[in-house]
Amino acid sequence: MVLSIPTTQEQIRSFEDPNRRNFRILHSLIRVLDWPDNVPLGPDPRVPKEKGPVVKKISASLATGDGRFHLLNRGITLSVRKAEFDNKEQTLRLQIPNEEQYGIIDGGHTSYAITHTVSSMRAAGLEDKLGNQYVHVEVLSKIENDLADIAEARNFSAQLKPWTLASYRDKFKWFLDALGEDYCKYIKVAENDPEPVGILDLIQVMCAINPSLYESTSSSVNEAYKNAGKCLQNFVEDGNGHDPNRQPNFKEMEPICRDVIRLYDYIRLKWKDAYNAEDESGKRGRIGARVEMQKRRRNRSALATYYFLEEKPVEGDIPVEKGFAIPMISSFRALMERGKNGKLRWYADPFEYFDEHGAHLVRLVMQASDRAGGDPHQVGRDPQVYTSLYSEVRRWYLEGRFKNQLA
């Protein structure tokens, strides 16, 4: 793909990176009316939340027509193979191959807001109101070898700093010790660590399934998905075990930490088989035909790689979004009880339980996705999804236990 974007020589600057001579860095101000509507997300780790508050705020800023958008918005950063300015045509040409390492690195929400705001205002005959609105665009070329670090730092620097500082204070030590060296070799606990799994993702899982944090009737359990910062705060403040009377106390989960993290991988790996299995009527599902499984274009293989199942990473067929997996893993807190030593343990083997009931549970999640228009983000934020899944797990367990007592 080659994008041709109108701009002027006065609104574009290009220079070499002083430390990496092969890098090219280009900055330009582009009229939002000239911004293309087909720029790929590529390496951007975050899918724009189409109806979220970020997009709404950006769109509202655009619609003011005050000419300050490029000052109030941090702009869009792109990874391209080649960038060149045609002075005669007054056009910036960007070479963006159809590969994961090219496209928007940062600013996916801004790009989405621009294209949809421009489209809607054109339809309403208000296009002229956007004539003086510009967006700052940064174009990086030949950065393929450093792309992963750049994309992560640009998108998650605000989140990385607090959890890295926490690791320096040994707040994660008991958790990492409980997981063991074979798990820890895959876990990133600082910005520049090369490991593939961020500890913040694992903390979200631990929050979602913590029965002390979220009781059976809790309506705020969806915070485990929608508020990673809150998860971190809960874990760091209450998860160090210094005061066992404070709740939630994550350290009571120490004996089952490995099970929880492995179960999260197990559920996602088996998601396809569970959905495609026969239901009560004998009808099989087709997970690959669902639109949710086709939306993700970047990092598909990374999201479908599981590190805590076998000695080597296991690659799955489809990526299962966190908005689906977090409500599912949360429901398994219904299978926990506190032992005499104050530590949590399982009522029943959670892996066997998922093998038996996973097909129905997965279909419940995908039915919720149908109601949400195929948006995993909305599923992950819906407290009713968590309540329904928890109730089903608890009901099936109690029914099975009652039958065994009668047998």
* pLDDT tens-place string over residues 14-26: 988 888 778 889 9
- In which residue ranges of the chain is pLDDT below 50? 45, 157, 239-246, 406-407
Domain end residue (candidates: 112, 142, 172): 142
Residue 273, pLDDT score: 95
What pLDDT score was predicted for residue 214?
Answer: 85
Is residue 89 in some structural domain?
yes
In this structure, the answer to whether residues 161 and 138 fall within a common structural domain is no
Burial (CB count <10 Å: 0-12, 13-18, 19+), residue 393: buried
Structural domain contains residue 147: no
In-domain check, residue 183: yes
Residue range 60-97, pLDDT digits in tens:
999 999 999 999 998 999 989 899 999 999 999 999 88
Write the pLDDT tens digit of every residue in 150-175: 766 666 545 555 666 666 567 899 99
The pLDDT of residue 191 is 63
Q: Do residue 319 and residue 373 come from a single domain?
A: yes
Does 124 share its domain with 176?
Answer: no
**Parent domain of 14:** 2-142
Q: Are residues 175 and 300 in the same domain?
A: yes
Same structural domain, 192 and 334: yes
**Residue 143 pLDDT:** 81
Q: Of the candidates 204, 325, 191, which has an alpha carbon nearest to the alpha carbon of residue 266?
A: 325
The answer to whether position 124 is within a domain reads: yes
> Environment class of residue 103 by beta-carbon count within 10 Å: exposed (0-12), middle (13-18) or buried (19+)?
buried
Are residues 164 and 113 located together in one domain of the fold?
no
pLDDT of the residue at 169: 66
Q: State residue 241's pLDDT score.
A: 43
- Choose the final residue of a domain: 142, 169, 194: 142
Q: Please tell me whether residues 231 and 358 are part of one structural domain.
A: yes
Return the number of other C-beta atoms located less than 10 Å from residue 85's C-beta.
18
Are the beta carbons of 197 and 265 closer than 8 angstroms? Answer: no
Q: Does 223 share its domain with 324?
A: yes
| pLDDT of amino acid 23 | 86
Query: For the chain, how many structural domains are there in total?
Result: 2
Domain boundary among 142, 177, 212: 142
Residue 100 and residue 37 share a domain = yes
What predicted TM-score, i.e. pTM, was given to this entire model? 0.63
DSSP code of 219? S
Is 311 found in the same domain as 378? Answer: yes
| 149 found inside a domain | no
Task: Please indicate, yes or no, if residue 76 is contained in any of the structural domains.
Answer: yes
Nearest to 394 by CA among 215, 191, 171, 144: 215
Please report whether residue 151 resides in a domain.
no
Q: Specify if 148 maps to a domain.
A: no
What DSSP designation does 217 have? T
Q: Are residues 223 and 138 part of one domain?
A: no
Query: Could you tell me the maximum CA-CA distance found in the chain, to the nearest angstrom?
Result: 86
Strand order in the sheet with 12-16: 12-16, 24-31, 134-141, 76-80, 103-106
250 with 362, same domain? yes
